[in-house]
Amino acid sequence: MLEYKNNFLFIDEVSVLNISTGIDTPFYLYSKNKLLKNYAEINNSFKKANHIICYAVKANENPYLLRILAKNGCGCDIVSIGELNLALKAGINPKKIVFAGVGKQENEIRAAIKSDILMFNIESIPELYSIDRIAKLLNKTARIAFRVNPDIDAKTHPHITTGLSHNKFGLTFKEAYEGYLLAKGLKNIEIVGIHTHIGSQITDSASFVLASKKVAGYISKLKAAGINLKYIDMGGGLGIRYKDEKVINPSDYADAILKYLPKNHTIILEPGRFLVAETGVLITKVIYVKKTLKKKFLVVDAGMNDLVRPAIYGAYHEIIPVKWKNGKQHNWDIVGPICESSDVFAKDRLMPLASEGDYLAILCAGAYGYSMSSNYNMRPRPAEIIIENNKWRIIRKREIL
Ligand SMILES: *Cc1c(COP(=O)(O)O)cnc(C)c1O
């Protein structure tokens, strides 16, 4: 989706400089083509199985992007009533909505039951009782799965691993087994599935194979106890290339996930990052070029309130100039304006000579970018722009504070 033409950066045939000079920076810029391409890729790779793609809304909750996904038959993985309402408003079919999260509250459970979502992914026994009680009050039956924590080390960043036994997420196989037996006896609960999500930004297919194997073995055990499931929800976590990671391609991912799973089930996938990360870039402007004895800084107008991943995960994002300058490259520290030492997008990054007023593109910023943004330092959240049919348009205005 990105290419330089005569040293100017283009996304889907649109000059990024032309957009940048017409609107305040920073702003997020998305490619509809790329979003649809990613969705088709993962959807097609699971063609051999009955499946539902439930996009993890938390990765990027822009309503316009959700509508594009809804129109293409995508479902959603939600974690709050806010995401539920957004998904429904965007036209996501409630029969394709799954609800995760360790702290579902009464009003959230009520709204989800009323909307008749596909299933709750339950993370504790008290939650099971809560859902049963609320379903009873509404005179409804709630479909549920238990989220199991298969104790797999997906070798990802400690802040984004979820499948280890010391994480707060899900239940051990043993606890979930008790849960299933309890759930069997509850009148307003219908057991329909099992759920697992082993972590994020996973680049090692062996982790998915192991999850497939463990879940498959567990399903046979449940079957022997008279518990038959319709849905196997294998979560999200497919990694993308931020720098030089060797990533799993979607077809190998599907093979890994499906390797041990029994047939005759509907498989649910919850990709977040894979669908949207490479769909978006964050465009920012150089405010000052600051040279000290030891360092050369580019102080830009985007900060950790706009894109927090480098600050909290030490995440790497490639940064490229919107107008390429030939000649000697320099080592730059690219930093935001916020009063925190962690407000740094890149250290010692080799880039062409830059000057005040230049625009930079921070790549792979479509996932956990805007959705994790804040008003820290009293800064407005940035605008969001989409390129579709080789034209750009604003899909969310810059906040006014
Ligand atoms: C965050 C999350 C996802 C999405 O993870 P990605 O790594 O972005 O694919 C899916 N399922 C659950 C339960 C999650 O918490």
CATH number for the domain harbouring residue 171: 3.20.20.10
Same domain, 170 and 248: yes
Residue 290's domain spans which residues? 2-30+277-396
Mutate to test the pocket of ligand 1, among 38, 77, 98, 309 (most ligand atoms within 8 A of CB): 77
Q: If 0-12 CB within 10 Å is exposed, 13-18 middle and 19+ buried, where does residue 34 land?
A: buried
Question: Contact at 8 Å (CB) between 189 and 132?
Answer: yes
Choose one of 260, 275, 290: the last residue of a domain: 275
Residue 342 domain flag? yes
Q: Is residue 401 one of the residues assigned to a domain?
A: no
328 has pLDDT over 80: yes
- Please tell me the number of Cα atoms within 13 Å of 83 on its side-chain side: 23
From the alpha carbon of 235, which atom of ligand 1 is closest? 11
68 in any annotated domain: yes
| pLDDT at position 162 | 67
Residue 160 has pLDDT above 70, yes or no: no
Confidence at 392, pLDDT banded by 50, 70, 90: very high
Residue 276: both structure tokens together? 């949207």
Give the mean model confidence (pLDDT) for residues 353-382: 98
CB 168 within 8 A of CB 206: no
Pocket perturbation via mutation, ligand 1, pick of 270, 278, 372 by most ligand atoms within 8 A of CB: 270
For ligand 1, what atom is nearest to the CA of residue 237? 7
CA of 269 to the centre of ligand 1 (A): 9
Q: What is the pLDDT of residue 186?
A: 98
Amino acid 168: pLDDT? 87
Q: What is the CB < 6 Å shell around ligand 1?
A: 56, 58-59, 77, 100, 197, 200, 235-238, 270-274
- Residue 155 zone, left/alpha/beta (φ > 0; ψ -120 to 50; rest): left
CATH code of residue 341: 2.40.37.10
Between the alpha carbon of residue 302 and those of residues 33, 269, 287, 356, 374, the distances in Å are 25, 33, 10, 14, 12
Angstrom distance (rounded) from CA 41 to CA 37: 6
Residues 182 and 210 in one domain: yes
Asked whether the predicted pLDDT for residue 239 surpasses 90, the reply is: yes
Q: Which residue in the list 54, 74, 76, 339 is annotated as catalytic?
A: 339
Q: What's the structural domain count of the chain?
A: 2
- The verdict on residue 209 lying in a domain is yes
pLDDT at 163 over 90: no
Residues 8 and 56 in one domain: no
Ligand 1: centre distance to CA 139 (Å): 31
- pLDDT band, residue 154 (cuts 50/70/90): confident
Instruction: Confirm whether 74 is domain-assigned.
Output: yes
The verdict on 10 and 157 lying in the same domain is no
The pLDDT of residue 309 is above 90: yes
Same domain, 163 and 302: no
Amino acid sitting at position 20 = S
Give the closest residue (by CA) to ligand 1 atom 10: 236
Residues 82 and 153 in one domain: yes
Q: Are 126 and 6 within one domain?
A: no
Return mean pLDDT, the chain.
Answer: 96
Question: What pLDDT, in 10s, does the model give residues 53-95?
Answer: 999 999 999 999 999 999 999 999 999 999 999 999 999 999 9
Verify that 343 and 233 share a domain, yes or no.
Answer: no
To the query of whether residue 74 is one of the catalytic residues in this protein, the response is no
Res 192: pLDDT: 98
Tell me, yes or no, whether 271 and 285 share the same domain.
Answer: no
Distance 52 CA to ligand 1 centre (A): 15
For the stretch 97-132, pLDDT in tens is 999 999 999 999 999 999 999 999 999 999 999 999
Residue ending a domain, choose from 241, 275, 309:
275
Q: pLDDT value at position 159?
A: 66
Distance CA 230, CA 59 (A): 27
| Cα-trace Rg, the chain | 22
**Taking 70 as the threshold, does the pLDDT of residue 382 lie above it?**
yes
> How many angstroms is it from 235 CA to the middle of ligand 1?
6
Residues 10 and 77 in one domain: no
Per-residue pLDDT at 167: 79
Domain end point (choices 275, 293, 308): 275
Residue 324 Cα to ligand 1 middle (Å): 35
Q: Do 328 and 240 share a structural domain?
A: no
In this structure, the answer to whether residues 263 and 387 fall within a common structural domain is no
Ramachandran angles phi, psi of 102, nearest 5°: -80, -15
